[in-house]
Each structure stands twice: as structure tokens, then as C-alpha cells.
Amino acid sequence: MKNMARHIVSGTLALLVLWTASCSHDTEAFGTSDKESVLSIGLRLPAASPKAGEGYEVGETYENYIDIEHNNYRIYFFTSDNKFIARFEPDGFVVAEGSDYRDYSMLGKAPAVLADHKNFKMVVLANWPQYGDETMKAGETLLADICNAEWGLFDCFSPFGPGPDRLIPFYGVSEYNDIALRPGEVTLLPEPVALLRAVAKVEVVLKTDARFDLSFSEVKIRRYNRTGYCAPKDVFSREDYDHDGAWDSDYVSGLHLVEDSNDAEEKTQNFRFADKWTDTDGNRYEKWTAYLPEYRNIGAGDKYSNIEVRLDAQTGEDEPHKVYFANYDESGKTDNNDNARRFDIARNNLYRFTVTVRDNRLTVNVQEWQYAYDNEYTFD
């Protein structure tokens, strides 16, 4: 997988503090008494892109966005064997602005039944089109029921870009052991909840120099799935998807497709033009992006997904150039008919293809793992 165009884009929700009413927060403002156990969770969202860490790349604004103000998130507690315990429902939140982040401090009554569970899982959903709160029953609803629920589906963005009305769904889970909730004491949760985006990001970058004054006139995807699951398949613990930076195995090993298959209908849609720039050596770049639900290319026969690009120098009669979801060699070539070279479109990954024009030849470069990277949301 060394030449795979897969770049991990991660979101991390770090849940740091669970505390009761005796802490420094003013619980009266949220309608709770001093005798009630209060759960306080802080959420930090980056307001500006943080610096890229080694091996990961920062996401852009709406790749990092959770609609806290409109309550577009859920925090659930489950038993260690994946049975629903209760939902945490904040009574309100306080916002604090930093230079490059925004903090949300959310307070609410701690579910009384949580005191009966020293070992539990916390599940975070965010930006889902809908939630099935009314369908969830304590001791009966399983975590798998949420992951596979019909209300846990989302539609592909049109156009292919996130925005205030086209939010990326998130899912994350973490397990906590030997946690005792005691009135009047602060309880620290030692591990963060890492969130997975439900979509993959695909970038096509055109690289030219002063000798070739070229641009893309069109970039589009041929074959994609119109609908996807907000949650991954069979991911019931953090260990199922977060492998401490082992990039050949992060984030999930299997696709979660509706009815476990690709859409039968062949369809196309245009990428969105994102940016253009010139580097210090005079090379010119332009970038086009799309955000896609998962798609199975391996074993798909001739029903594979591919990208079609057209240069502004081409006429309407010229065939578009095809870019495949496959490993390319050092000369910029691939054999998409070789199933072993293909790769699927998987959630929470960035697939970046750099198309270079040299001596009137178009080649494709699939960049290496070092361009995968990290975004952090921190519950603080």
C-alpha cells in the first residue's frame, strides 16, 4: 500500500473531564441543584487549521465542524458488551473563544444509572441527518443497531463539498474501565474519543509549469454511491479503527455499504474547483475536490469508480483522461484491470492524485503516506 493515494484525515475528540456539582462551574445556571450529580464535558474545535503533524494533514473548515449550537450531536453510554445504558443530555453550554479554537463547556445531569457501571463505553455521534433517540431502549438496543440503523444513513453532498447545510457525519467510541462517579469529586476520563468522518475526500491536483498554460475544464467522478452509513461497520471499540498511527491499518478494514453493494446506476458528477497557486519554482497548481461515501472498487469488475479529467486545450471530440483508484508506478502508469492494484474508496481517508503534464504527456502521481495527517477536537 506504499503508493496508495490514501491520506488519513482524522478528527479527535478528547474527553478530559467528567465532574459533579461541587466543581467550579456554576451549575445553577443550568437548572441543577448542588445535590445532583452533574456531568460536564468540554469540547474544543479548531477555528483555524492547526499545523500539520508528521504523517497527517490538517482538514479544512467544514471538515472540522460540528453543529453544537443546534444540538446536532449525541453522547451515549453503553455497557462493555455494547448494550445501551443512557444518553447524556446537556442542559446548556458556555462558549469561550481562543485565538485559533472555540471551547464549548456543556453541563447536564449525569444519568443516574451510569453510577452502576464502572466499566462503560462512550459513543459520540455528530452531524447526523437524524437520530433515533425514541427507538433506543436501555439494556436492549445494541451498538450495532445504531451503526446499521436506517436513520443512520446520509445522502451524498451535491455539490461535492461540505457547508453549513451539508455537514460531514462523525462517529466515535471509546471504552473506560474502573471509573467511579462520586458526588463532589472530579472524575477524569483518561482516553480521548477519536472521531471518524463518514466520507472520503478526493483531490485531483494539476501540476504544470510556464511552458504549458493549461487548466482543467472539467473534473468529474464516474460511478459513486449516492447514500452511505454515518457509522462504520462493526466498529464497537476504539481499537477497531484507531491503531496508534499504523497507517496501513487505520482506520477501518471494511466498507459499510447500503445493502452491502454499490449503486447499480451509473452516474457522474462534477468535482468542485478548490484552489490554484504557484510555488517558488514557478510550478503552477490547481486543485479540485469531492467528498464521497464509500465505494467498493476491488472485485467490482467493470463497475469501478474512476475520475475523468478534461484539459481546456481539448476539444469536445477528445476523450477525457481517466484517473483510476489504483496504485500507479513511478512512471505514472497503472493497469486498472489488475484487481490487485485497485483500492476502495474508504471513509475518513484522503485520496490525492497529482496530474502532471510533461512534454505533452499526462502522468499521474499517487503521493506517499507521509501526507496523511491529524486534526484535533479536544474536550477540555
What DSSP letter does each residue of 9-73 carry, written as one string? EEEEEE--EEE-TTSSS-GGGGT--TTS-EEEEEEEEESSPPPPPTT-----GGGS---TTTT-E
The verdict on 142 and 96 lying in the same domain is yes
23-49, pLDDT tens digit by residue? 444 445 555 555 666 666 666 666 554
Q: Residue 244 has which C-alpha cell?
A: 496508534
What is the Cα–Cα distance from 242 to 249, expressed in whole angstroms?
9
Number of Cβ atoms within 10 Å of the Cβ of 177: 9
Q: Is the pLDDT of residue 14 over 60?
A: no
The verdict on 127 and 94 lying in the same domain is yes
Q: Residue 116 has which C-alpha cell?
A: 452502576
Among 96-105, 182-191, 235-244, top mean pLDDT goes to: 235-244
The verdict on 208 and 193 lying in the same domain is no
Is residue 343 in some structural domain?
A: yes
Q: Is the pLDDT of residue 129 over 50?
A: yes
Number of Cβ atoms within 10 Å of the Cβ of 94: 14
The verdict on 187 and 236 lying in the same domain is no
Q: What is the CATH number of the domain that holds 208?
A: 2.60.40.2630
Q: For residue 240, which phi and psi values (nearest 5 degrees)? A: -75, -15
What is the Cα–Cα distance from 127 to 135, expressed in whole angstroms?
19
153-198, pLDDT tens digit by residue? 999 987 778 888 889 999 989 898 988 777 766 566 666 677 888 9
Q: Residue 83 has which C-alpha cell?
A: 448494550
The verdict on 277 and 287 lying in the same domain is yes
What is the Cα–Cα distance from 330 to 205, expressed in whole angstroms?
17
pTM of the model: 0.83
The verdict on 170 and 224 lying in the same domain is no
Is residue 5 in some structural domain?
A: no
Which structural domain range is residue 287 located in?
200-371
358-378, pLDDT tens digit by residue? 655 555 655 432 333 332 222
Is residue 307 in some structural domain?
A: yes
Q: Which residue has the cell 456554576?
A: 26
Return the closest-CA partner of residue 350 out of 12, 128, 63: 63
Number of Cβ atoms within 10 Å of the Cβ of 214: 19
The verdict on 350 and 214 lying in the same domain is yes
The verdict on 220 and 158 lying in the same domain is no
The verdict on 147 and 242 lying in the same domain is no
What is the Cα–Cα distance from 28 to 33, expressed in whole angstroms?
6
pLDDT at 358: 66
Q: How many domains does the chain have?
A: 2
